[in-house]
Each structure stands twice: as structure tokens, then as C-alpha cells.
Amino acid sequence: MIALGFESSCDETSVAVLEDDRTLANLVSSQDFHKKYGGVVPELSSRAHLARVAPLTRDALVQAGVELADVDLIAATAGPGLIGALLVGFTFAKGLAVAERKPFVPVNHVEAHFFSGFLMDEKPEYPFLALAVSGGHTMLVLVEDELTLTRLGGTVDDAAGEAFDKGAKTLGLPYPGGPNIQKTAERGDPERYPFPIAELKSKYDFSFSGVKTALLRQVQILRTGNDPLAEETVADLAASYQRSIVEALIRKTDAAIAEFAPKSVSLVGGVAANKPLREAFTRTTAARGAKAVVPSIQYCGDNAAMIAWRGLALHRAGERFSNEYRPFPSFQSRYARDYSDNPR
Amino acid sequence: MKSEETITTRDEVETAEAARRLARLFTPGTFAALIGDLGAGKTFFVRAVAETLGARGVSSPTFAIVNEYQGDWRIYHLDYYRVESADELYDVGVEEYFADPEAICFVEWADKFPETLPARRVEIELEPNEAGGRTIRVRRYE
């Protein structure tokens, strides 16, 4: 089956063509399109999505060597996301589906991330655990099959990617925060500053606002007058800060592997690009005897290939959706239930 | 300005308690502008207020720009941190969120684009103090 997927939940516009598990095209505006529209930094604008979506669709179909008539199914992100941004990709996709008489599948963006490992040659095996980490999300979920998910925990404040970005800003490092913290941290001592790792009432929840504040206080203590911090100090701070975030993510993932004994564990979302996190993740997973699946960079950030994949999977599982479906900014997964520490 | 009040807390527990007390004054149509630097505790404060109003799952809207929760009333939780111009905000449709009479709005980093804020609002300024708590300045504008 051939699926055409659309993603426009936030800054990125993306269109992808998939034939079953195989990506035929996966175009992302900030990476593939900046030459045409000038601007590498994703733009927060419905107008930008509107300008990009039609040409991206044409280019994706051409690159895939597929005619619109050959497409079996159309999938689009229905949320969560910004309503103005969502509406553009979603309405465009639904319009195509109605005009071309194709089945239309609304997809939950975060769910699509969980399953993004299936876009790789080495795929997750059910049941698998997914750690989703990005600028907007931090979540640990157990996936039993395509329609049965248990949300084990998530962040109660900042997302991991947000913690990286805000930490970078505190340290005077340029945007994007994650890659620059990682680069600066390579020269630093991760043991130099013992930043906290939050323990929460719910054991699979995360909190990163404490470490963010601890970094800020440490910078205030170390700074004398208006002089900038010494380069070595910034490197030590970055390394210690990164270590604290990575350690928090890994500790809870490890506890979840121990409790639920999944066959595979997948690290997904934009922050999966962080090298120390990938390494610690692979080590921990191997030590527990589970298979680690970390999608390549093009599938870690927001992309439409994962939306198309999820659309196909839902369709294969027999799920059908009305054309009256609308996007929903705070879309909760209809297939995920919450895990409780204290089952009654 | 109609009134100004300053609350000083000594720790997180007292800050949360102050937020809960303020929450009782919030009804649909209330617009709250949160002001304070990185790490001042804006999201913490909104979470404490929103939980008092029956909302769950409150987290930072920095990346999403807008989070929406359902408690006793609808709650919009916005964040201007990542926004670069007022134009972007109009494009996102902030006016529609602010005009919803059934909802309470919280906006973090609201002072970045004061021209977008409704005239009638509560400003909540948070500042860490020596004691380890927060100095909270509450200003009401009619």
C-alpha cells in the first residue's frame, strides 16, 4: 500500500510518500526547502505552512515516482499542535482525500513518534518501550501492539529538548541548544557540578525545571561582575548539565525495562540526536538484554514519514475515520491509557 | 492600574499555597500575564493555579506555544518565550484564545509583547528571593 503523509503541527511542514515500511520520499521544509523559501530556522507561521504544502506535495510525489492516483491512503497530523498550523496540513490532506476518493487517516503526532522505529531496517519488536524526547515532549510509553499503548510517565514541566535549549541560553551558547551543549560538553568534566536529578511521586515522570534553575544559580555564583565565564567553566557546566538530563532519562528507562521486560526499546524524537544519550541508551538496553532501536536523524525530528507509517498501521488494523474529523490542538491518544503506580 | 499586592514566600510549598489562594479569584474571562526570568517559576505557578482549578497534565508550553487544558473551565496556557514577533502571535491566532469568554488564559513571558495583551488583566511577576522562595507582585489592570 502507498501512503501520502502530512505533518504541520508546529514549525515544520513535511510531506512523505511511503510504500508499506519503505520511505519513497520524506521532505521536511527546514531541511529540503530553505533554498526555495529562504530561511533555515523553522518559522512559526500558518502562512508559511500554506505557502509550502502544495509545492512540497508535488516534489514528494515526483521524488517518489508516484502519481496521486497510485496513492492508497492519505494521513495527516490531527494534533497535538498549534491549531493554525495543524489546519493547513490537515485540511489540505483531507481535501485531497475527498477529491481523490482515498481513505483519510487522522494521526496523533506523538503516537507517530513512538512508532518511528518501524521506518528503519532494524525494527522494534512488540512489546516495546519507547522513550520520546523532543523540544515539546518527554514521554515513556509501553507499546503492546498498534492499538494498545500505556503511557508510563511524562514531564511535569519542561521537555528534555526545552531543558537543553534553555540551558544553552543560560550558558550563552547559540541556538540550537542541544547540539551546542553536546559540543561544548565534550571538553568538560561531567562530574564537576552535581546537578540534581528529580525524583517524583510517580516513578516514570520527569522534571527538568529543577536542573534548569540549579544551572542558573550556579552561573550566578560563578560569575563575578560582568565578566563572561571562562571557557573551561562553561564546558564543565555544559557537561554536568547534560549528564544530569541524560541520567534522568536513562534511569527511568532502565527502571521501566526492568519492570516490563520489553523485547525492544526505542529512542525517538529530536533529542535522540544527542550522542551521549544515544550511547547511554544503547548500553542500558543491551545490559538488560533488550534490542535498542534508534531511528536515524531524518526520522527523529518532526517528519511526515512517521505520520504516513502510523496512518498505514491504523488502516491495516481496521481503523476507519469520518471525513468530518477535525484537527484538535490538545489531541490525546485514543489508544493510550495511563499507567498507575498504585493500581487499586 | 487598580490594585497592587506583594506576596513573599519562603519556599516552594508556600509559593504553591500562594498560587492556590490566587486561583480562587480566577473565573472564565480572567487573563493572567506571567512575568519573570528563566527559572523564576512561571510554569510552576501556572501548574499550581491550574491544578486548583481541576486541570491535569500541565507542562511547559514553550515549544507548543499554546497548551489547552480542561478543568472546571477551559484553560489556555501560552508562552511567548520562543516567539520572535507580535506578527507571529497574530498568525497563531492568540486573539481568538484571548477572546474566549469561557476560558482562563495564562501567558508566560507576556511582557515580551505587551501590545498583544488585553487591557483588563492580572499581571503576576515572579522573582526568586534570598530566602529561597519567591517575591510575587500581583497587579490588576481594569
Instruction: Let me know whether A35 and A95 are in one domain.
Output: yes
pLDDT at res. A40: 41
Percent of chain B with pLDDT over 90: 78
CATH number for A176: 3.30.420.40
Residue A315 has which C-alpha cell?
488502516
Tens digit of each residue's pLDDT (9 = 90 or more) over A109-167 = 999 999 999 999 999 999 999 999 998 899 999 999 999 999 999 999 999 999 999 99
- A247 in a domain, yes or no? yes
Contact between chains at A82 and B64 (C-beta distance less than 8 A): yes
Cβ atoms within 10 A of the Cβ of B129, count?
12
- A120 in a domain, yes or no? no
Instruction: Let me know whether A100 and A171 are in one domain.
Output: no
Q: Please tell me the pTM assigned to this model.
A: 0.91
Contact between chains at B64 and A134 (C-beta distance less than 8 A): no
Instruction: Let me know whether A150 and A195 are in one domain.
Output: yes
- Confidence tier at B71 by pLDDT (50, 70, 90): very high
- A181 in a domain, yes or no? yes
CB-closest option in A154, A209, A216 to B43: A209
- A165 in a domain, yes or no? yes
Tens digit of each residue's pLDDT (9 = 90 or more) over B12-37 = 999 999 999 999 889 999 999 999 99
Tens digit of each residue's pLDDT (9 = 90 or more) over A2-29 = 999 999 998 889 999 999 999 999 999 8
- CA–CA gap between residue B119 and residue B52 (Å, rounded): 25
- A344 in a domain, yes or no? no
List residues in chain B touching A: CB distance below 8 A. Answer: 38-39, 41, 43-44, 47, 57-60, 62-69, 82-84, 88, 91-93
Counted domains in chain A = 2
Domain span at A55: 2-115+298-338
Contact between chains at B92 and A82 (C-beta distance less than 8 A): yes
- A343 in a domain, yes or no? no
Residue of A nearest to B132 (CA): A217
Instruction: Let me know whether A252 and A325 are in one domain.
Output: no
Measure A134 CA to nearest chain B CA, in Å: 9
The per-residue pLDDT string of chain A (344 residues; one tens digit each, 9 = 90 and over) reads 999 999 999 888 999 999 999 999 999 987 655 445 444 444 567 888 888 999 999 999 999 999 999 999 999 999 998 888 899 999 999 999 999 999 999 999 999 999 999 999 999 999 999 999 998 899 999 999 999 999 999 999 999 999 999 999 999 998 788 999 999 999 999 999 999 999 898 999 999 999 999 999 999 999 987 788 999 999 999 999 999 999 999 999 999 999 999 999 999 999 999 999 999 999 999 999 999 999 999 999 999 999 999 999 999 999 999 888 889 887 888 899 988 754 43
Instruction: Let me know whether A65 and A176 are in one domain.
Output: no
- A186 in a domain, yes or no? yes
Instruction: Let me know whether A171 and A143 are in one domain.
Output: yes
Q: Any CB–CB contact under 8 A between A259 and chain B?
A: no
- A220 in a domain, yes or no? yes
Instruction: Let me know whether A173 and A313 are in one domain.
Output: no
Positive or negative torsion for Cα A290, A181, B78, A85: negative
Q: Which residue, among A176, A133, A124, has the nearest Cα to A301 in the 3D structure?
A: A133
Tens digit of each residue's pLDDT (9 = 90 or more) over B37-65 = 999 999 999 999 999 999 988 999 998 89
Find chain A residues with C-beta within 8 A of B60's C-beta: 155, 157-159, 162, 209
CA–chain centroid gap for A274, Å, is 12
Contact between chains at A209 and B60 (C-beta distance less than 8 A): yes
Instruction: Let me know whether A45 and A157 are in one domain.
Output: no
Q: What are phi and psi of A259, to 5 degrees?
A: -75, -40
pLDDT at res. A19: 98
ipTM, two decimals, is 0.86
- b/e string for B8-26 if b means 16 or more Cβ within 10 A? ebeeeebbbebbeebbeeb
Instruction: Let me know whether A157 and A249 are in one domain.
Output: yes
Across all residues in chain B, what is the average pLDDT?
94
Residues B131, B38, B31: CA angle, nearest 5 degrees: 95
Judged on CB neighbours under 10 Å (0-12, 13-18, 19+), A333 is middle
Instruction: Let me know whether A6 and A96 are in one domain.
Output: yes
Contact between chains at B66 and A47 (C-beta distance less than 8 A): no
Instruction: Let me know whether A200 and A237 are in one domain.
Output: yes
Find chain B residues with C-beta within 8 A of A161's C-beta: 63
Q: Any CB–CB contact under 8 A between A334 and chain B?
A: no
- CA–CA gap between residue B30 and residue A302 (Å, rounded): 34
Tens digit of each residue's pLDDT (9 = 90 or more) over B109-127 = 999 999 999 999 999 999 9
Specify the pairing of strand A14-19 against strand A2-7: antiparallel
Instruction: Let me know whether A134 and A99 are in one domain.
Output: no
